């Protein structure tokens, strides 16, 4: 997103700056499609995907985009066109990928701790690349499903390396107290069990230690333990072809600047690849947030200004049902005016939504340029876990989603209506 000068009537001078997504004014999009409104840059998604992919160019690998970050079909279609694979965690996410192109199943890995037999059957029928198995019980269930379907399930056990990562506790997954994966100490025994199942094909080892991690050292520590496990398993006769390194690479939400993503991706790649040198494995990678996060903004309009005993509020038309991260994680998103005159003045406000919850806020005690009723604000870096975490709480229809590609504007999800919400009820 970039501010561009706009000339106003007759003066011959640029008197204000308007925030643009690629070549399109966000003010124009808000007028055309209403607010709240999610807007994504196709060019940013392409650039970051290419950069991430290039960082791993020295090793055989597949970028399996993490569908949970942003599952819109338009986004998935864009990434499929760039030869990405996909990481899914539910039957619904798998169906989204198959809706784009059923042939994409060959580039799908299925993760998640609670796969149902029906989901397993669907994935087996589609002939996905790999099941990331997360428990001993799931291993037995998958073996039974594969036998009933007369299919062979390619599997990797997701091992829990007990590696701490500096991130929010809700999105850390690599410690023994978390629900994800099997203890790495149990892996040899479980692989031996899997080898006895006629319809399971041991193909790899999987690990994922969490999300929004910006220090690459925990990734390196996890991969050291995975590499040691691969050597043990191969010594026992298991053909380990794939190592799924998971995702989790974070982005900078704090200042609207994502920094040098090429350098960040290169550091991450070195941390992941160094422990695996000499193992001759095909690496599977599951980026999500770092690909789509910076591509998106949530546009919202100021409804009311309000003050309670000196405490200032901006009541806007977006709410926690549209963007849950601030309420759920205490997450920070930079908020900027769509139209600015670059005034130096600031005021401290809470930016809040219309929902009847005290937890319905988008920012607290935030210094912003003074905003008036009717002004447009842009909440930055909302391409990941924005719309994907949205809900219809308070019977609020969810926003439309727009994909901008240079001058092209495409509605990739229309705005819901109240009638849409009531349609399934009786």
Q: What are the structure tokens assigned to 234, written together?
A: 């191969």
- Residue-wise DSSP of 332-392: ---EEESEE------EEEEEE-SSSSTT-EEEEEEEE----TT-EEEEES-SSSSGGG---
- Whether 380 and 297 have beta carbons less than 8 Å apart is answered as yes
Query: How would DSSP label each residue in 273-315?
Result: HGGGTTS--EEEE---HHHHGGGEEEEEEEEEEEEETTEEEEE
| Active site amino acids | 356
> What is the longest distance spanned by two Cα atoms in the chain?
80
Beta-strand ranges (E) seen in 161-206 are: 182-183, 200-206
Distance between CA atoms of residues 327 and 71, nearest Å? 21
At residue 61, the 3 state secondary structure works out as strand
CA distance 157 to 187: 7
């Amino acid at each position: 997103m970039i501010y561009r000068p706009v000339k106003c009537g007759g003066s011959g001078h640029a008197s204000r700056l308007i925030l643009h997504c690629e070549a399109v004014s966000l003010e124009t999009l808000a007028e055309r499609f209403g607010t709240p409104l999610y807007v994504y840059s196709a060019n940013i998604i392409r650039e970051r995907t290419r950069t991430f992919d290039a960082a791993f160019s020295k090793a055989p690998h597949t970028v399996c985009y993490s569908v949970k970050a942003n599952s819109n079909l338009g986004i998935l279609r864009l990434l499929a066109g760039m030869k990405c694979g996909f990481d899914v965690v539910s039957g619904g996410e798998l169906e989204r990928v198959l809706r784009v192109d059923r042939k994409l199943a060959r580039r799908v890995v299925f993760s998640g701790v609670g796969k149902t037999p029906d989901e397993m059957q669907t994935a087996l029928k589609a002939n996905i690349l790999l099941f990331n198995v997360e428990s001993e019980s799931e291993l037995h269930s998958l073996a039974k499903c594969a036998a009933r379907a007369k299919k062979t399930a390619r599997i990797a056990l997701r091992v829990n390396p007990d590696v701490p990562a500096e991130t929010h506790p809700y999105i850390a997954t690599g410690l023994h107290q978390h629900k994800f994966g099997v203890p790495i100490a149990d892996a040899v025994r479980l692989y031996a069990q899997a080898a006895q199942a006629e319809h399971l094909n041991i193909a790899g080892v999987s690990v994922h230690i969490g999300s929004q991690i910006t220090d690459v050292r925990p990734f390196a520590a996890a991969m050291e333990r995975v590499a040691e496990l691969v050597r043990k398993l191969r010594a026992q006769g298991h053909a380990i072809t794939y190592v799924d390194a998971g995702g989790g690479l974070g982005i900078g939400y704090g200042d609207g600047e994502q920094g040098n993503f090429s350098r960040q991706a290169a550091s991450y790649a070195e941390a992941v690849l160094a422990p695996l040198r000499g193992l001759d494995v095909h690496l599977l990678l599951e980026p999500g947030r770092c690909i789509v996060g910076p591509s998106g903004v949530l546009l919202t309009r100021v409804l009311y200004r309000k003050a309670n005993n000196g405490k200032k509020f901006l009541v806007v038309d977006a709410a926690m049902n549209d963007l849950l991260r601030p309420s759920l994680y205490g997450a920070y998103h930079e908020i900027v005016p769509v139209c600015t005159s670059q005034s130096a003045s600031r005021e401290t406000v809470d930016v809040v939504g219309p929902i009847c919850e005290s937890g319905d806020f988008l920012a607290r005690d935030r210094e912003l340029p003074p905003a008036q009723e009717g002004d447009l604000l842009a909440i930055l870096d909302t391409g990941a876990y924005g719309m994907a975490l949205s809900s219809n709480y308070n019977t609020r229809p969810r926003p439309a989603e727009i994909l901008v590609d240079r001058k092209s504007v495409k509605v990739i999800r229309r705005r819901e209506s109240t009638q849409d919400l009531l349609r399934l009820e009786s």
